[in-house]
Amino acid sequence: MTTSADPIEVLQGLLREQLTPLITDDYVLLDCPYHANIGDTLIWEGELSFLSGLPYRMLGYGSMSTWMFPRLKPGTVVLLHGGGNFGDLWAGVQDFRLRVIEAYADHPIVIFPQTVYYRDEQRMRADAERMARHPNLTICARDRQSWSRLETAFRNHLLLLPDMAFCIPPERLMRYAVRSDAETSLWLKRTDQELASESRPKRLPEKAVQHDWPTLERTTRATWLVYKLSGLCDRLSGSEAGRPLRWAMARLADAVAFGSLREENIRTGVRFLTSYGTPYTTRLHGAILAVLLHKPEVVLIDNNYGKNSSFYTTWLQNVPSVRLCGPESV
């Protein structure tokens, strides 16, 4: 999907060309990632960068814990955060997405590029039936495998687009870059349910260190505060008497996540990745961030259901710095 032009600019162009006509009024951005995963924060930052170039205002934003489903003015576009959680692997997020789609049936809705994966085909068809009731819903698939899954069951408007992180301006990231220890490789190994059982590269350089994202290995103050506030919002969600307190806690969580956690995650991610030589990564955004930072080499290793390999073959296979390898061939 790339040419001799700068691959980042090509992917940015595709996103602008396809998404801009869908956002025709002021908007809200929902399911913002108020957590420690740097990859999701990079997607969020890319979404904000893209939206900043449009002639419309963001009327509100929130996470699945802080959004309280207010009435929106007519014409407001509802935008749902992209990523890799469309399906039944991360069921809580999918359930929130369905609530949003049903609550705002009179508003245009766009789901930013997502990897789609279901273990249960019956759940997939049930979700497709519920989403098909919305008259103006666009679902963006993040790779061809996801597109094929959507095409089999979903009747909404579908698009195939790359990850929103590619919309981040390079200068936004490079100001946090640090001097690299080029002799030390990074083995960026995810530690959640998406890790493949045989993920360690057999030819990992002798001088390599193993980490997940630093923010997942050590909780920062901003992350801790957002988690506490979000947890309080969840506990108050079923109480009408607690609604004023929930509203106050939600607005505080929104402010801390937007102003502190987001910046902290971006700064930490860039410093982390630029401090090492070649990254060997099971996290897709380890590879995407390496491309955005113009690292000369990055080795991408698949997760347990093909997310990374499908994204690579859809968008990255002609990017010279990126290699896709199974553990046995690295």
Beta carbons of 66 and 250 less than 8 angstroms apart: yes
Closest CA to 310 of 145, 112, 163, 151: 145
- 51-60, 87-96, 155-164, 265-274: segment of lowest average pLDDT: 87-96
Reported as a single tens digit per residue, the pLDDT across 175-191 is 999 998 889 999 999 88
Burial per residue of 110-144, b for 16 or more beta-carbon CB atoms within 10 angstroms, e otherwise: bbbbbbbbbeeeeebeebbeebeebebbbbbbbbe
Reported as a single tens digit per residue, the pLDDT across 27-49 is 999 999 999 999 999 999 999 99
Sign of CA dihedral 46, 156, 67, 116: negative
State how far Cα 126 lies from the chain centre: 24
Q: What is the mean pLDDT of residues 132-161?
A: 97
Reported as a single tens digit per residue, the pLDDT across 288-322 is 999 999 999 999 998 777 889 999 999 999 899 99
**196: pLDDT confidence band, cut at 50, 70 and 90?**
low
Closest CA to 326 of 300, 289, 305: 300
Beta carbons of 116 and 86 less than 8 angstroms apart: yes
3-state secondary structure of 41: helix
Go through the domains of the chain in sequence order and give each one's CATH number.
7-167 (3.40.50)
What's the pLDDT at 330? Answer: 45
Sign of CA dihedral 251, 88, 20, 132: negative
Instruction: Please state, for a pLDDT cut of 90, what percent of the chain lies above it.
Output: 84
pLDDT at position 327 over 90: no
What rounded mean pLDDT belongs to the chain?
A: 93
Q: What are the DSSP calls for 215-233, one per residue?
A: HHHS--HHHHHHHHHHHHH
